[in-house]
Amino acid sequence: DIQMTQSPSSLPASVGDRVTISCRASQTISGYLNWYQQKPGKAPHLLIYAASSLQSGVPSRFSGSGSGTDFTLTISSLQPEDFATYYCQQSYITPLTFGGGTKVDIK
Amino acid sequence: EVQLVESGGGLVQPGGSLRLSCAASGFTFSRYWMTWVRQAPGKGLEWVANIKQDGSEKYYVDSVKGRFTISRDNAKNSMYLQMNSLRAEDTAVYYCASAVYAMVRGVIVNWFDPWGQGTLVTVSS
């Protein structure tokens, strides 16, 4: 199975900060990498698909990059509504697997 | 409006069974792979199973193989998860989601969107 490792697991930040979350796959997954945002008590919400494509309706301050085994989610200027947990997910091969999550909370 | 609504969760004893349902509306259900993802209390997301548009292909995470069965009824715009021999470690919120496949930069990729609101399954005596 492909293991997805996110870092950091917790990220204290302030409004206006540039935030970067990393995701590493245990083997190459090309560009088969998605990012989701989840707020407490809510379902996950797609942000980025295919490593760098922004889902319709998602603010442009979110961006994704990477290929192979190393990927990054960047929030260019953190907004109050962005405090949440973020998950990466590989869609290269079953079993489809998620990273452990990165909780972005208030510094 | 595209919508997925799960139902059927509840409290069940270890070794028991439960059937979850996912009702779809606002899109052509029969054109999409569908999936179940679960989240144990305070934990991360875990993919459980997915099913092809016509039900001819099904895939499961190892921990539920032989115990869970995914199915769908395109005439009813619904997907199901039959869960047997339930264990305490199956306790989680179960989400259904549509699995979208599309060509991006010359490659067919896939992702989960949209998601339902989830239904809680608690396995406890």
Burial pattern A50-62, b for ≥16 Cβ within 10 A else e, equals: bbbbbbeebeeeb
Q: pLDDT per residue over A52-88, tens digit each?
A: 999 999 999 999 999 999 999 999 999 999 999 999 9
The pLDDT value recorded for residue A48 is: 98
What per-residue confidence (pLDDT) applies to B108? 87
Q: How many CB atoms lie within 10 A of CB B36?
A: 27
pLDDT tens figures, A21-51 = 999 999 999 999 999 999 999 999 999 999 9
Distance CA A76, CA A66 (A): 16
**Best mutation site among B5, B22, B38, B45 for testing chain A: the one with the most A CBs within 10 Å?**
B45
Quote the CA–CA distance of B72 and A76 in Å, as a whole number: 41
Q: What is the pLDDT of residue B105?
A: 86
In B55-114, the residues whose Cβ lies within 8 Å of chain A are: 59, 61-62, 95, 100, 104-105, 107, 109-114
For B74, the 3-state DSSP assignment is helix
What does the pLDDT profile of chain B (125 residues) look like in tens digits? Answer: 999 999 999 999 999 999 999 999 999 999 999 999 999 999 999 999 999 999 999 999 999 999 999 999 999 999 999 999 999 999 999 999 999 998 888 888 999 999 999 999 999 99
B111: nearest CB among A49, A94, A100:
A49
Cβ neighbours, 10 Å, residue B67: 15
Measured distance CA(B7)–CA(A95) in Å, rounded: 25
Mean pLDDT throughout A8-12?
Answer: 98
Cα B114 to Cα B50: distance, rounded to the nearest angstrom: 14
Q: What is the pLDDT of residue B59?
A: 97
Question: What pLDDT was estimated at residue B106?
Answer: 86
pLDDT at residue B95, rounded to an integer: 98
Residue A105: band (very low, low, confident or very high) from pLDDT cuts 50, 70, 90: very high
Of A31, A96, A101, the CB nearest to B107: A31
List the structure tokens of B112. 């989960």
Residue B106, C-beta contacts closer than 8 angstroms, at least 6 positions apart = none
pLDDT value at residue A92: 95
Rg (CA), chain A: 13
Interface test with B, best of A35, A49, A85, A89 (most B CBs within 10 A): A49
Q: How much is the pLDDT for A9?
A: 98
Contact state of A31 with B109 under an 8 Å Cβ cutoff: yes
A89 touches A97 (CB < 8 A): yes
Q: Which two tokens stand for residue A61?
A: 């301050």
Give the β-pairing of B10-12 and B119-123: parallel
